[in-house]
Amino acid sequence: MASCISTQAVQAQELKGISYKPRIINTTDLGADPDDKQSMVRQFVSANAFDIEGLIVATGCWRKTQSNTKMLDTLLDAYAAAYPNLKVHAKGYPSPDYLRSISVMGQTGYGMGDVGTGKDSPGSDLIIASADRDDPRPLWVMGWGGMNTIAQAIWKVRETRSDEGLKKFLSKLRLFDILGQDDAGAWIAKNFPDVFYIRATGVYGWQPPKNGDYQRNDIQSHGSLGAVYPDTQWATEGDSPAFMHVYPNGLNNPEQIGQGGWGGRFDPIKKAGIRSMSEVAKIEKDAETKYDPYYMYGNTEEGAEAIKRYKGYDNDFAARMDWSITSKYDDANHHPVAVLNGDRTRKVLHMTASVGDKVELNAEGSTDPDGNTISYKWSFYDEPSSYDGSVSILNDTSIKASIEIPENSKGKNIHIILETYDNGSPNLYAYRRMIINVNP
């Protein structure tokens, strides 16, 4: 257990710097595709990695009305049963009572028809209160269904505050919309063009086989939370990329959406015409076209391939499900800590170099709380790099690697990913990224 304490010391050190946990509110159309329940289970076993400030039951094109939080309450009961085990394995799991206190109803009706005077909901009030909190971190608000609870919060602030007050409120928000599932997203993007708005459409294709061995044996068989992880009906966990984008695993800075991570990779230039699921236009033909043009951040052309390039997210979930069923620390695997050039945080690092330089990259000091052996893999991540050529990495599976900065890379940047993984069961990963800015 001595090495476990050192991991905690590292986490404490991180927290002394910038507070590392992302602040997050999830809005969910629970009761439509059962995959929201699946994603909520993954969110719960990962809850120590986030500051979850709200869980909001909302509507969307696949569930146009909601009346209560019963389904969410059932999932919270399952979390409460697993909580005593989970907290043995990592610090920072929120208490079930805390999660219950931030679990509320959002809009009960569909789309912009349920936004406006007299339409405030506990969910829209919670979003406003959260954004108003004196906290320098941005507030990520995720739409696993429609976006109208978020729209109501913005509508209310516009009605009741000065332009400056509205601007301040909007500047705190980071909106992440899965697929577009009502007309509220287009309304937000049209009326508040400065708001940070991602609409993710590349959310399928990274998942393990539908209702396959992994799902049955590594997830559903595992205790109270496994029991509430339903079979896949249409797709598996289509909403998980929302919080996976901000999962602090060292891979990306979620504010820099072009970097790419477990939630996908996004074009840092907003585009017009990113449409919702076709159901939205079936409900109302000009539901979104009437707001044309509206601009949002969308996936880069790799789509879900930007997620699929990483191993690790399946095993991460599986290990956390293991945590949920054992009160013995030694009976489950825990993540390694990846150190990059002496830096023990999980921040993306930057350095400058010149053409012809030999840059040394070093993962010495990386540790595993279980005493597992760690493996290393260094790779050039082409897509987010402004340098387009090839980069050869010497000793790319060693603890120390080196790169010769290519001749034609002047003024460009080169993203290098460090993947560390242990030999525990299942293998767990920790990532780091070095962005090398090449002098002009």
User: Which spans of this chain sit near Ca ion (rule: CB under 5 A)?
Assistant: 29, 36, 144-145, 239, 333-334, 368, 370, 372, 422, 424
Bridge partners (DSSP) listed for residue 24 = 52, 140
Which residue lies nearer to Ca ion by CB, 312 or 384?
312
Query: Please, what is the minimum distance in Å from the beta carbon of residue 97 to Ca ion?
Result: 26
Distance CA 86, CA 89 (A): 6
Candidates 320, 294, 18, 305; CA nearest to 175 is: 294
CB of 341 to Ca ion, least distance (A): 22
φ, ψ of residue 152 in degrees (nearest 5): -65, -40
CB of 33 to Ca ion, least distance (A): 6
Closer Cβ to Ca ion, 28 or 220, answer by number: 28
Task: Give 295: exposed, middle or buried? Use CB within 10 Å, 0-12, 13-18, 19+.
Answer: middle
Q: Residue 368 Cβ, how far from Ca ion at the closest point, in Å?
A: 4
Q: Closest distance between Ca ion and the C-beta of residue 328, in Å?
A: 14
Helix and strand numbers, DSSP H then E, in the chain = 14, 15
Name the strand (E) or helix (H) holding 85: helix 70-89
Q: Which is nearer to Ca ion, 320 or 334 (CB)?
A: 334
Rounded distance between C-alpha atoms, residue 372 and residue 364, angstroms:
15
Q: Which is nearer to Ca ion, 86 or 416 (CB)?
A: 86
- At closest approach, how far in Å is the CB of 175 from Ca ion? 15
Burial class (CB in 10 A: 0-12, 13-18, 19+), 59: buried
Q: Which residue has the tokens 């085990």?
A: 85
Nearer to Ca ion, 261 or 336 (CB): 336
Considering the complex, state which of residue 259 and residue 333 has its C-beta at the smaller distance from Ca ion. 333
- What span, in angstroms and rounded, lies between the C-alpha atoms of 180 and 279? 10
Shorter beta-carbon distance to Ca ion: residue 1 or 269: 1
The least CB distance from residue 178 to Ca ion, in Å, is 6
CA distance 110 to 150: 13
